[in-house]
Amino acid sequence: MPVTRAVLLPGTGSDEIFVRAVFAGPLAAAGIEAATPRPPAGDRLAVGFLTLLDALAESGPLLVGGISFGAHLAAEWAVRNPGRCAGLLLALPAWHGQPGDAPASLAARASADLVDAEGLEKALSLSIAGVAPWLADELTRAWRRHGDGLAAGLRVAASHPAPTLEELRTLEVPAGIVACTDDPVHPLGVAREWAAALPRAVLRETTLSELGADPGSVGRAVVEAWRQA
Kindly provide the residue ranges of all beta strands, DSSP E only, lying in 27-184, ordered along the sequence. Answer: 33-35, 62-67, 85-91, 175-180
Inter-residue contact 31 to 2 (CB < 8 Å): yes
pTM equals 0.96
Which pLDDT score is estimated for 2?
Answer: 66
What domains can you pick out in the chain, each with its CATH number? 5-98+162-228 (3.40.50.1820), 103-155 (no CATH)
Which pLDDT score is estimated for 3?
Answer: 72
Helices marked H in 57-132: 69-80, 103-118, 120-128
> 163-185 burial, b for 16+ CB within 10 Å, e for fewer?
beeebbeebebbbbbbbbeebeb
Inter-residue contact 209 to 183 (CB < 8 Å): no
Ordered per-residue pLDDT tens for the chain, 229 residues: 567 789 999 999 999 999 999 999 999 999 999 999 999 999 999 999 999 999 999 989 999 999 999 999 999 999 999 999 999 999 999 999 999 999 999 999 999 999 999 999 999 999 999 999 999 999 999 999 999 999 999 999 999 999 999 999 999 999 999 999 999 999 999 999 999 999 999 999 999 999 999 999 999 999 999 999 9
Which pLDDT score is estimated for 54?
Answer: 97
223 contact partners, CB below 8 Å, separation of at least 6: 23, 26, 27, 29, 30, 89, 176
Residues recorded for the chain: 229
Q: How far apart are CA 12 and CA 39, in angstroms?
A: 9
What is the arrangement of strands in the sheet containing 62-67, beginning at the earlier edge strand? 33-35, 5-9, 62-67, 85-91, 175-180, 201-206
